[in-house]
Amino acid sequence: MIAVNFHPQTLIELEHVSFAYPSGGGDTDVVTDINLSIQRGEWVTIVGSNGSGKSTLAKLIAKLFTATRGAVSYHMQERPPIQLIFQNPDAQIIGETVYEDLCFGMENYGISREIMRERALEALSKVGLAAHADAPVSQLSGGQKQLLCIAACLVLQPAVVLFDEATSMLDPLARTKIAAVAQQLHREGKTVIWITQWLDELAYADRVVALHNGGIVFDGSTKEFFYGSISDSDWAERTDRSYAGGLDIAAAETSSPNDSTEFHHLP
C-alpha cells in the first residue's frame, strides 16, 4: 500500500482580528479577537444569529475591510485569491446579458477574448446556465441570478469562494440548487467558506465556526458541533437516520434561525 501524506496548506490566516465600524464611533468592536485559519480544500461554515458579526467577518476575510487590530494574511498564488457571493444577486450583476456579465470581471483582469469565451462557457455549464448565455439578465429568476453570480466568480478562478448568506433571499428549491452547485465545486477541490444563520445548511460543512457577539465560540467538526464528543459509530448511526444523507437536525429545522438558544455552544 502506498502511504499518502496530506499536507494541509493554510490559505487564509486571521490573527487576533478585531473590527469597529468608524460609523459606530470606532470604539465598539463588532468582531473581537478572531483567530482563524482556512486550509486549501476545506468547507468551513460560519454560523451565527443576526448581528453576531458574520458579514463583517466575511468582509475582513476578503480584505474588503481592514482590521482595526490584528492581521489577515493570504498564502496562495491565485489572483484573485477570493471571490464573494452576497445575499442579493441584483447588487452584483453588471451586464445586461448573462455572457456580458461574465466578461466584465474578466476584462478587468486583462483576459483575452478567446479565453474569456472558454471560461464563460465552462462556468455556465458548471452552474447549469449554459443554455442561457445570451439571455437578458432581467429574464432570469432569483435563483438563476445567484447561479450567474457564482459563474462570475468561477471565471476568475479564485482559490476560495465565500458565500455570504447567498441563499437567504431564495425559495427552497433555489436554495437547494445553490448548495448543490457549491458542493460540486467543493468536490472539485475549491475551498468554500459558507456563511449562514440556518442550521440545516451546516449539513454541507467539514468544519463549523460559530460566532456570538463578534467572537468565535466554537471551531471544530460538524459532528462535534451537533453532538459533542460522541463516537464515530454513534455519529454514523445518527447521520444514517437523517434525511437525504445529511445530518439529523430535525429539531433545528423547526427552529427560528435567529433563536440563538438553538446553538449548543452559545452562552
User: Residues in the site for ligand ADP, rule: CB under 6 A?
Assistant: 21, 23-24, 30, 48, 50-56
When the beta carbons of 49 and 83 are compared against ligand ADP, the nearer one is 49
One-letter amino acid for residue 202 of the chain: L
Minimum separation from the CB atom of position 84 to ligand ADP (A): 13
When the beta carbons of 53 and 105 are compared against ligand ADP, the nearer one is 53
C-alpha cell at 226: 451537533
Minimum separation from the CB atom of position 256 to ligand ADP (A): 14
What pairs with residue 12 in β-bridges?
38, 74
The DSSP annotation for 212-225 comes to ETTEEEEEEEHHHH
Minimum separation from the CB atom of position 69 to ligand ADP (A): 16
When the beta carbons of 21 and 227 are compared against ligand ADP, the nearer one is 21
When the beta carbons of 34 and 252 are compared against ligand ADP, the nearer one is 34
Residue count (the chain): 267
DSSP symbol at 242? S
Calculate the alpha carbon distances from 17 to 36, 46, 68, 89, 128 in Å.
9, 16, 7, 29, 38
Minimum separation from the CB atom of position 3 to ligand ADP (A): 43
Under DSSP, is residue 97 helix (H, G, I), strand (E, B) or coil? strand
